[in-house]
Structure 1
Amino acid sequence: MIRRLLLALALVFVASPAQAYWEFGHETVAAIAYRNVTPATRARIDALLRQQKLLDTPTCPARTIEEASVWPDCVKKLGERFTYAYSWHYQNVDVCKPFDLKSACKDGNCVSAQITRSVKLLEDPKVPERERLQALVNLIHFVGDLHMPLHAGDRGDLGGNRVRGDYGIYGPERFNLHSIWDGPLTERAISTPPTIVRVYSPQERSMIAGGSVEDWSRQSWEISRDYAYASAFNGDACGPVPTGRIKLDQATIEKLVPIAKLQVARGGLRLARLLDEALG
């Protein structure tokens, strides 16, 4: 009985981080952005979020930027009302072919296109407040999504969702390559000192936040190929798909932590730049 109890407790505590990027990762991207926008932009963010009742989603509040960062995932549970937006959270760009964003973003149904659309809606004062508010919460969330590499690169496996895997010594059935990067890897990266939730210098912001949404898409796609898939597929992202479960050992995890951490910081500072451009 003691062994069964210990196993049950282990599964509870190991399984819980699998939702980390859904909450911890997105909230951290939002927190970094909030600290690095101008005071005027921060005031306009707060003013829009004070109208969060316009969203008419009482079970999915958006009172703070952290709550707003997970709103687009929260509303998935509301059924048909938001099903049109499911494909807006990712872009399946094949990591084994030349980078081709247009084919993956037909009709604007991908994360990078929706980032650009949200900025345009947010910066137009003629757009009704409800639509600008929804553009704000979408922008906050989608910039986070774009910087999770397996939302940007794919091998015909739903961004690693079909690749079952183990994280270190833990291998509950719910883990796959995608959920490892979504959850425990990103959670460890964010929690590893030094903190990335801070005010960055102008030089740091300039170095990290430069480029276009397409540039950021390509960069996340490259990280998906060179780190996420390569580390899982015996060093060759485009090699044979391993049979059975892939395993990320501790040495591999330690090499991936700085990559995952940098992606969250990039997401936060790039979100700050877009918010300043749209609201500043």
Structure 2
Amino acid sequence: MIRKLLLPLLAMLAALLPAQANAYWEYGHETVAAIAYRNVTPAVRTEIGKLLAHQALLETPTCPARTIEQASVWADCIKELGPRFSYAYNWHYQNVNVCKDFTLKGNCPDGNCVSAQIERAAKLLKDRKVPVRERVMALAFLVHFVGDLHQPLHAGDRGDLGGNRARSTYGLYSTERLNLHSIWDGLLAERAISTPPSLVRAYSAEERAAVNGGSIEDWSRDSWQVARDVVYGSAYGDPCGPVPERAKLDEAMIEKLIEPARQQLVKGGLRLARLLDEALG
């Protein structure tokens, strides 16, 4: 009886998947941004507000950035503007092979990867001689790209376009469009964020210190390791073993993945807070 009731619902979800996946991961970016905003210094919150008051200089009225939450999804929104921002397409990810030793060399050609663009945006944001418009854009890119780096399938993969070619089920939910990327971008991200307690709060100095040390390359390695051990490990058993026709994530496995997914959001938020404090403090 339960299965008969669920099937129509799953069919409806399948039809909505592309839109829902986008919406869920917008929720993820907004959560990373909100955590960061709660954990920067009051002076930096003021500086963020001053910069975003100039967001009209971006001349992207369909992609506003009036708040840090809006700024967190600006870099995805501008993809719809076509050639104007097409140069930034490869800045959202760095698909380092999880079955080889970690290295950014060769995986970030000419700085066109997420970790290099985080460094670039932080430098531009810090430099008060840079025109205001460029600093507003740097802020929006920085907030978004730190979120991207902490979605594990933007940091490591198995040559499958960040899991986009890795078909998978999600509990009873199974469609041709469903893959590991859409699960971690959307369905699992939403589940992690909506599971209490709220991730958006002020964290203690000890909690911040536990995750926001190291370099951007260290953070890249950390997310790559999560992609290997958690994402592909949960889907395939052996993260570098044979790839099944369709991975199966049952409800018990999804429950186990909620906490790692939550931790990625926390790490992203607190590490972003560190970079904002360093650039604007």
Give the match for residue 35 of structure 1: 38
Indicate which of 110, 122, 125 corresponds to 2:125.
122
Indicate which of 80, 83, 98 corresponds to 1:80.
83
Give the match for residue 113 of structure 2: 110
CA distance in 1, matches of 2:137, 2:196: 34
Residues 59, 223 of structure 1: CA spacing in aligned structure 2 closer, same or farther, 3 A cutoff? same
Give the match for residue 272 of structure 2: 271
Deviates more, 1:99-108 or 1:52-61: 99-108
Q: Which amino acid aligns with 2:273?
A: A
* Residue 182 of structure 2 is aligned to residue 179 of structure 1: yes
Q: Is the 8 A contact 1:41 1:276 kept in 2?
A: yes
Structure 1, unmatched stretches of 5+, are none
Indicate which of 61, 64, 69 corresponds to 1:61.
64
- Count of residues in Structure 1 that have an aligned counterpart in Structure 2: 277
Residues 5, 228 of structure 1: CA spacing in aligned structure 2 closer, same or farther, 3 A cutoff? closer
Note the alpha carbon deviations across 1:68-118, whole angstroms, 9 max, x for none: 000000000000011110100000100000001121112100000000000
CA distance in 2, matches of 1:4, 1:187: 21
Give the match for residue 262 of structure 1: 263
How far did residue 268 of structure 1 move?
Answer: 0.3
* Residue 204 of structure 2 is aligned to residue 210 of structure 1: no
CA distance in 1, matches of 2:174, 2:238: 22
- Equivalences for residues 151-170 of structure 1 within 5 A: 151-170=154-173
How far did residue 13 of structure 1 move?
Answer: 6.6
Residues 155, 129 of structure 1: CA spacing in aligned structure 2 closer, same or farther, 3 A cutoff? same
How far did residue 208 of structure 1 move?
Answer: 1.6
Deviates more, 1:132-141 or 1:195-204: 195-204
Give the match for residue 143 of structure 1: 146
Q: Is the 8 A contact 1:166 1:247 kept in 2?
A: yes
Structure 2, unmatched stretches of 5+, are none
CA distance in 2, matches of 1:6, 1:98: 42
How far did residue 190 of structure 1 move?
Answer: 1.0
Indicate which of 237, 241, 244 corresponds to 1:242.
244
CA distance in 2, matches of 1:54, 1:10: 38
CA distance in 2, matches of 1:207, 1:267: 13
Note the alpha carbon deviations across 1:175-210, whole angstroms, 9 max, x for none: 111110001111111111111100011111111211
Residues 78, 16 of structure 1: CA spacing in aligned structure 2 closer, same or farther, 3 A cutoff? closer
Residues 7, 38 of structure 1: CA spacing in aligned structure 2 closer, same or farther, 3 A cutoff? closer
Identity percentage of aligned residues: 68
How far did residue 260 of structure 1 move?
Answer: 0.4
Q: Is the 8 A contact 1:89 1:110 kept in 2?
A: yes
Q: Is the 8 A contact 2:25 2:190 kept in 1?
A: no
How far did residue 7 of structure 1 move?
Answer: 5.9
CA distance in 2, matches of 1:131, 1:207: 32
Residues 268, 7 of structure 1: CA spacing in aligned structure 2 closer, same or farther, 3 A cutoff? closer
Q: Is the 8 A contact 2:125 2:138 kept in 1?
A: yes
Give the match for residue 235 of structure 2: 232
